[in-house]
C-alpha cells in the first residue's frame, strides 16, 4: 500500500501577477525553507571546505547530498549508527538527497540498466558493484534520513531528443503498465518525517511528459521534480520543456528542477514557476578561482586589486579579503582560498534568490527581471532563448538581444559533466578536479 500522508507542508505566499513566479515556504520536521531556493550541493556529507556554522551564518536552509556517494562512503552501516547524515555532519536543517539515478548518465560507462534497476561499478574499483534498485535507493535514503527523498528514475538525457529510449524511460519511471519504479519507491519503507518527490521524465515532446505527469500526480506526493534536462538539448528546447511541464504539476506542491545554477537559468525558470534548484557550479567554480558577481559575470581572480570581490556583499570573504589577497592565496595553492571563495559564491546564489523572492512578494518581479537584463545585457548580449522564455511569460526583454545573439544556438548541460580543461593552470588545484 503506497503512502499518501507526508509531513512536508507547502504554502504559496505570493504569486506574480504577470509571470508564473511564486514566493512560497515549505516546512518539514527540520524547519522552514523559503522559495524560490537554491540548494548548495554537499556531495559526501560535507560541503567542501565550508563548515556547518558558516552555512548557517549565510542563512542556508537546505542542502543537497548524493545518495550514490554516501552509500559508498561512509556507507549505510555507519549512517545507521549515527541515525542519519544530519548527526554525521552536524547539520540540523533540511537535506534533500538525489536517488543515485543521475549517475546513470554521469557514469554511463560504468552502468548496466535492467528492469530490476541499474548496476554501477565504483569508479575507483570497478570490481566492486552496487545494484541500485528503487528499493535499494529508498533503503539508502532511509539510512541517510534525508528530509526530501528523490524517487529512483530512469534517467536519460533529453539531449538525445526523441524515440523509443525516451518513451521507455518515461514509462519505467512510473507504473505503466507493469510494476514500475515510482510505485516500487512508494511501497518501500521510509522514515515518518521523510518526503518523496517523483521525477517527471519524457524527453523533449509534450506528449510523453503529459502522460508521465498524469500518472505521477495521481500518486499523492508532497512535491515533484522535472527531470531529464540539461543533457545537451538546446536552451530553447530546455525552457520549452519546463514551460510545458510546470503547469502539469499541482499548484499546491513545490516544483524542483535539478542541476540548474547559472543566474540567467535561475531567473528564467523562476519566471516559469519553478521553486527549487541545485547545482555544484558555485562551489566547484570557486575551487578554480572563479567568483560569481551579482551582475551575472564570473570573475577570474588572476590580478591583484585592493577591493573586495563584490563591494556591498555581506559574506565573510568580502568582509575580510581583497581580490589581491585572494589571488595570492590561490597562486600559492592555499586550500583556504577555495573555502573563502566558495562562501562568497554561495552567498551570491542566496542573494540572487532572495532578491527574486522579495520582488515576487512586492509584486514587481517583472520590473526586477527587466532591470536585471538592462543592467547586464544592454550591450545586446541577452541570449535569444532567454528572451523567448521571458517574453512568453509577459516580460518583454527582446530589446537586449543583439544581432550576434539572434542566430546563436546554446546547449544545456549539467555543470558537473563539464571539463575544466580551459581554466588557467595557475588557479587550478589538484583536489578541485573532483566534483
Q: Are 124 and 434 in contact (CB under 8 A)?
A: no
Say whether residue 267 binds Zn ion (CB under 5 A): no
Compare residues 169 and 292 and give the one whose CB is closer to Zn ion: 292
Q: Give dist(CA 144, CA 185) in Å, integer.
A: 15
Compare residues 248 and 343 and give the one whose CB is closer to Zn ion: 343
The residue count for the chain: 435
Segment contacting Zn ion by CB under 5 A, of 62-70, 147-155, 199-207, 311-319: 311-319
Cell digits for 77? 552501516
Considering the complex, what minimum distance in angstroms separates the CB of residue 297 from Zn ion? 14
Considering the complex, what minimum distance in angstroms separates the CB of residue 317 from Zn ion? 5
Catalytic residue among 153, 243, 275, 278: 278
Contacts 24+ apart (CB under 8 A), 7-10: 7/192, 7/193, 7/194, 7/195, 7/222, 8/147, 8/148, 8/195, 8/222, 8/223, 8/254, 10/222, 10/223, 10/252, 10/253, 10/254
Neighbour order of strands in the sheet with 62-65:
62-65, 94-97, 148-150, 195-197
Query: What's the Cα-to-Cα distance from 179 to each of 57, 134, 171, 260, rounded to whole Å?
Result: 45, 11, 10, 31
Considering the complex, what minimum distance in angstroms separates the CB of residue 324 from Zn ion? 15
Catalytic residue among 98, 145, 154, 183: 98
**CA–centroid distance for 163 within its chain:** 26
Of 285, 364, 297, 367, nearest to 330 by C-alpha is 285
Q: Give dist(CA 366, CA 22) in Å, integer.
A: 12
Q: Give dist(CA 195, CA 31) in Å, integer.
A: 13
Considering the complex, what minimum distance in angstroms separates the CB of residue 321 from Zn ion? 9
Compare residues 317 and 369 and give the one whose CB is closer to Zn ion: 317
Segment contacting Zn ion by CB under 5 A, of 35-43, 148-156, 303-311, 359-367: 303-311
Q: Which residue has cell 586550500? A: 335
Q: Are 40 and 48 in contact (CB under 8 A)?
A: no
Say whether residue 89 binds Zn ion (CB under 5 A): no
**Does the annotation count 396 as an active-site position?**
no
Compare residues 16 and 292 and give the one whose CB is closer to Zn ion: 292
**Does the annotation count 278 as an active-site position?**
yes
Say whether residue 313 binds Zn ion (CB under 5 A): yes
Considering the complex, what minimum distance in angstroms separates the CB of residue 275 from Zn ion? 25
Say whether residue 414 binds Zn ion (CB under 5 A): no
DSSP letters, 49-82, are TB-HHHHHHTT--EEEE-HHHHHHTT-HHHHHHT
Taking CB under 5 A as the criterion, the residue among 318, 337, 386, 389 binding Zn ion is 318
Radius of gyration of the chain (CA): 21
Considering the complex, what minimum distance in angstroms separates the CB of residue 327 from Zn ion? 15
Q: Write out 319-364 in H/E/C secondary structure.
A: HHCCHHHHHHHHHCCCHHHHHHHHHHHHHHHHHHHHHHHHHHHCCC
* Residue 414 exposure: Cα atoms within 13 Å on the Cβ side: 22
Dihedral of the alpha carbons of 141, 142, 144, 148, in degrees to the nearest 10? 60
Say whether residue 315 binds Zn ion (CB under 5 A): yes
Segment contacting Zn ion by CB under 5 A, of 116-124, 144-152, 306-314, 394-402: 306-314
Read off the DSSP letter of residue 428: -
Compare residues 212 and 313 and give the one whose CB is closer to Zn ion: 313
Number of residues that bind Zn ion (CB under 5 A): 6
Considering the complex, what minimum distance in angstroms separates the CB of residue 350 from Zn ion? 10
Compare residues 253 and 348 and give the one whose CB is closer to Zn ion: 348
Write the binding mask 356 to 395 for Zn ion: x where contact by CB under 5 A, - elsewhere.
----------------------------------------
Segment contacting Zn ion by CB under 5 A, of 152-160, 307-315, 327-335, 389-397: 307-315
Name 431's Cβ contacts closer than 8 Å, sequence gap at least 6. Answer: 287, 335
Considering the complex, what minimum distance in angstroms separates the CB of residue 83 from Zn ion? 35
Compare residues 105 and 328 and give the one whose CB is closer to Zn ion: 328
Compare residues 89 and 315 and give the one whose CB is closer to Zn ion: 315
Say whether residue 344 binds Zn ion (CB under 5 A): yes
Whether omega for the bond prior to residue 26 falls within 30 degrees of 0, making it cis, is no
Compare residues 30 and 344 and give the one whose CB is closer to Zn ion: 344
Segment contacting Zn ion by CB under 5 A, of 55-63, 259-267, 340-348, 396-404: 340-348
Say whether residue 50 binds Zn ion (CB under 5 A): no
Considering the complex, what minimum distance in angstroms separates the CB of residue 318 from Zn ion? 3
Segment contacting Zn ion by CB under 5 A, of 7-15, 159-167, 270-278, 336-344: 336-344
- Residues lying near Zn ion in the complex (CB under 5 A): 310, 313, 315, 317-318, 344
Active site residues: 98, 278
Amino acid at each position: 500500500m503506497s503512502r499518501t500522508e507526508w509531513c512536508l507542508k507547502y504554502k504559496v505566499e505570493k504569486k506574480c501577477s504577470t509571470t508564473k513566479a511564486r514566493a512560497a515556504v515549505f516546512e518539514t520536521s527540520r524547519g522552514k525553507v523559503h522559495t524560490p531556493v537554491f540548494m548548495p550541493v554537499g556531495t559526501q556529507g560535507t560541503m567542501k571546505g565550508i563548515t556547518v556554522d558558516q552555512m548557517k551564518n549565510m542563512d542556508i536552509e537546505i542542502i543537497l547530498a548524493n545518495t550514490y556517494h554516501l552509500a559508498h562512503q561512509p556507507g549505510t552501516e555507519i549512517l545507521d549508527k549515527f541515525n542519519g547524515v544530519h548527526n554525521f555532519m552536524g547539520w540540523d536543517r533540511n537535506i534533500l538527497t538525489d536517488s543515485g539515478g543521475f549517475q546513470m548518465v554521469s557514469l554511463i560507462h560504468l552502468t548496466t540498466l535492467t528492469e530490476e534497476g541499474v548496476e554501477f561499478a565504483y569508479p575507483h574499483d570497478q570490481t566492486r558493484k552496487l545494484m541500485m534498485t528503487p528499493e535499494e535507493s529508498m533503503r539508502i535514503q532511509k539510512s541517510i534520513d534525508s528530509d526530501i527523498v528523490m524517487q529512483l528514475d530512469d534517467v536519460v538525457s533529453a539531449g538525445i531528443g526523441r524515440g523509443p529510449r525516451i518513451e521507455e524511460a518515461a514509462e519505467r519511471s512510473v507504473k505503466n503498465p507493469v510494476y514500475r519504479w515510482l510505485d516500487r519507491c512508494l511501497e518501500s519503507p521510509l522514515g515518518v518525517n521523510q518526503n518523496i518527490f517523483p521525477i517527471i521524465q519524457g524527453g523533449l515532446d509534450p506528449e510523453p511528459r503529459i502522460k508521465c505527469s498524469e500518472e505521477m500526480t495521481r500518486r499523492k506526493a508532497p512535491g515533484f521534480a522535472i527531470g531529464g534536462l540539461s543533457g545537451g538539448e538546446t536552451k530553447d528546447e530546455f525552457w520549452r520543456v519546463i514551460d510545458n511541464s510546470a503547469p502539469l504539476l499541482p499548484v499546491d506542491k513545490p516544483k524542483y528542477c535539478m542541476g540548474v545554477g547559472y543566474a540567467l537559468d535561475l531567473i528564467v525558470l523562476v519566471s516559469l514557476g519553478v521553486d527549487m534548484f541545485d547545482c555544484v557550479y558555485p562551489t566547484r567554480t570557486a575551487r578554480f578561482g572563479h567568483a560569481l558577481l551579482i551582475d551575472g559575470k564570473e570573475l577570474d581572480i588572476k590580478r591583484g586589486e585592493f577591493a573586495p570581490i563584490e563591494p556591498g556583499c555581506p559574506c565573510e570573504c568580502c568582509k575580510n579579503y581583497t581580490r589581491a589577497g585572494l589571488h595570492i592565496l590561490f597562486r600559492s595553492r592555499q586550500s583556504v582560498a577555495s573555502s573563502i571563495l566558495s562562501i562568497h559564491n554561495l552567498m551570491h546564489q542566496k542573494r540572487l534568490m532572495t532578491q527574486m523572492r522579495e520582488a515576487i512578494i512586492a509584486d514587481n518581479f517583472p520590473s526586477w527581471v527587466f532591470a536585471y537584463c538592462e543592467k547586464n545585457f544592454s550591450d545586446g548580449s541577452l541570449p535569444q532563448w532567454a528572451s523567448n522564455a521571458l517574453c512568453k511569460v509577459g516580460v518583454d526583454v527582446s530589446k537586449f538581444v543583439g544581432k550576434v545573439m539572434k542566430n546563436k544556438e546554446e546547449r544545456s548541460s549539467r555543470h558537473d559533466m563539464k571539463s575544466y580543461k580551459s581554466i588557467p593552470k595557475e588557479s587550478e588545484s589538484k583536489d578541485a578536479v573532483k566534483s
